[in-house]
Amino acid sequence: MFNLILVFDVGNTNIVLGVYEGEKLVTHWRVSTDRQKTSDEYGMLIRSLFDYQGLDMREIKAIMISSVVPPLNPVLEETSRQYFGVQPFEVGPGVKTGIALKYENPREVGADRVVNAVAAFERYGGPVIVVDFGTATTFCAISKQGEYLGGAIAPGIGISSEALFQRAAKLPRIELIKPKSIIGRNTVASMQAGIVYGFIGQVDGIVERMKAELGEDAKVVVTGGLAELIAADSKTIDEVDQFLTLEGLRLIYEKNK
């Protein structure tokens, strides 16, 4: 039996956890990101998840963390040491990734973007464009040689929808689903049409401009909570890969262990 690896993808809205046995993703969970939780609270939450799946926390031999929420890093480090007896490995400067960062300041590239780039290049080769639908929507371009060239960052679908509800007095909070028609016949349908098709247009527009700047065609891979919704009507998306970030964390572990 392979040693089990626990990976954390810490985002501003959710933390996605995955357990790997070798190259196999055994199970995964999505929990809310809570900056107020203590290491003990996260430890007990993770213990309950492991118990529910019939997994033994003592089988975890390594922990990988990718985080864009710096205040949670020491909390999860303490959780790892106290509940797993493991010193976690964090994605950051000095970590071997196999990806050359061509950013003006490589330290500014979010850990999640680096991890996605590693997994996308490993799985699909280059050039490849990765779109991640998280709290922010990020677009990342990776060259044929596996170089991280840069990208674009836009407000995420969720926070854009929430801003509309909060700043426009007569507009309600809505469910983010595809409407029956682009021409909405009521307020909710009109908002759904504007948000969903607006983001589809945003993705296609940015991707087409990136391809033109790259000077060659590129595979387009999307990940994140609302990836399926946007991909269904996009003209440019080739693959939906919901576990891209978790897979990238596993690959970086393999490069550094």
> 24-45: per-residue pLDDT in tens?
999 999 999 999 999 999 999 9
Structure tokens at 11: 């985002």
> 171-230: per-residue pLDDT in tens?
899 988 999 999 999 999 999 999 999 999 999 999 999 999 998 899 999 999 899 999
Look up 34 and say whether it is catalytic. no
* Structural domains present in the chain: 4-90 (3.30.420.40), 100-248 (3.30.420.40)
Report the pLDDT value the prediction gives residue 229, as an integer from 0 to 100: 93
Helical segments of the chain, H only: 39-53, 73-84, 111-124, 157-167, 187-214, 227-231, 244-256
pTM of the complete model: 0.92
Counting Cα atoms < 13 Å in the Cβ hemisphere of 195 gives 27
Q: Annotated catalytic residue: which of 51, 56, 112, 233?
A: 112
The mean pLDDT of 54-77, rounded to a whole number, is 95
